[in-house]
Structure 1
Amino acid sequence: MDRQPVIETQRLLIRPLQEDDRSALFEVASDPMIWEQHPVHDRWRREVFDDFFDECLASGGGLAVIRKDKDRIVGHTRLDKYDPEESGVVEIGWTYLERPCWGKGINSEMKAALLRHAFANVALVEFRVGDTNYRSRNALEAIGAVRTDRYELGRYDGKRIVHLVYEITRESFSEGPLSGAD
């Protein structure tokens, strides 16, 4: 499965992340409100962001999200943890968009395109989201993701963090709210 595809939708160009994207993505990520509910709540700080960006770049699945009408980067997402076993699974995550994109259907449009791409190769897509990140949890549920019984524990800045696991199957996607979306 190609984890760094070039995908074009009505309003977006999703393409492989490049080192040259660092400054433009930091401009997006430097808004503390983007991270206020996220377990790693200080990614708006340059040194924290740079570590995050380096990880995304090294992952082999980082994607820049470009608004075609503005001809500039408005966010990031990632295809990761691809496992071809048992019909395949991939994780979509590490997504953030600038606030002017919120409530405009940009996230749904992006996720629909990524899910179509993923389901050409896998039977299951997973998402991990911080348990107190209600904005992202609501966004996942709006696109048809279902919370599973699984979760992951971690630590950040001396505190315990919990990531809930959501999923969408190929079958539920074909019948769900994004099946006809572009």
Structure 2
Amino acid sequence: MAGEPDRQPALETPRLTIRPLREADREPLYDVASDPMVWEQHPIHDRWRREVFDGFFDASLASGGGLAVISKSDERIVGHSRYGRYDAEEGGAIEIGWTFLSRECWGRGLNHELKRAMLDHALAHVARVDFRVGETNYRSRQALEAIGAVRDPARYDLDRYEGRRVVQLYYTIDRESFASGPLASV
């Protein structure tokens, strides 16, 4: 069934609730984002600063695709992700990105759970999901490769942040690779 997926679905995993981002999430999400280690390799490495975070949060709210990631064990916001631009060409594609999780979530398989739910939702509607990641954001690049995303060497974006050039690389997962990849349902 091709067509643009709902960009703010309510999704559930065994340990996470993923729901549309709302204004009331600003402070609890900033509690997560205010950790400089979360942004250590990110091209916008100072998103832990209040004014930078507020711009990010406002853009996510306005995008119509922002999602709050909540731990079921204690009902706390532990992160954020977002569905981005939709492209109707060639069976459809949508971007997933802007993902960050609190350090307490790292190494526990929660990113896999989050991405499995988001990919399952998106790939029911589109043929491909795209991810953009900063060239020097090795932690995120490794996380994408661990979920089966493959870098597309022909696609990249050039951005600027604080006067520096930032190269954004593209990774993709399509229906077939998702169905047979590391996040495939058992």
SS state of the match for residue 45, structure 2? coil
Q: 2 CA distance for matches of 1:3 and 1:25? A: 19
Whole-Å separation in 2 of the counterparts to 1:108 and 1:13: 14
Question: Which amino acid counterpart does residue 82 of structure 1 have in structure 2?
Answer: Y
- Note the C-alpha offset of 1:86: 2.1
Which of 71, 82, 87 aligns to 2:86? It is: 82
Q: Secondary structure at the match of 2:7?
A: coil
Q: SS at 1:171's partner residue?
A: helix
2:9 is the alignment partner of 1:5: yes
Unaligned runs of 5+ in 1: none
Equivalent in the alignment of 2:163: 158
The match for 1:112 is 116
How much has 1:82 moved relative to structure 2? Answer: 1.2
Match of 2:33 in 1: 29
2:93 counterpart of 1:72 = no
Q: CA deviation at 1:85?
A: 2.7
Question: 1:119-165 deviations in whole A, cap 9, x for unaligned?
Answer: 11000000000000000000000000000011100000111001100
Aligned sequence identity (%): 67
Aligned length: 181
Inter-partner Cα distance in structure 1 for 2:151 and 2:120? 20
Distance, in Å, in 1 between the alignment partners of 2:83 and 2:56 is 15
SS state at 1:43 partner: coil
**Deviations for 1:67-120, whole angstroms, at most 9, x for unmatched residues?**
000211000000110122321100000000000000000000000000000011
1:51 is matched with which residue?
Answer: 55
Which range moved further: 98-107 or 80-89? 80-89
Q: 1:128 aligns with which of 132, 151, 167?
A: 132
Q: TM-score, normalised by structure 2?
A: 0.96
1:144 to 138, 148, 153: 148
Counterpart position of 2:172: 167
Q: 1:167 corresponds to which letter in structure 2?
A: T
What SS class does the counterpart of residue 89 from structure 2 fall into? coil
Give the unaligned 5+ runs of structure 2: none
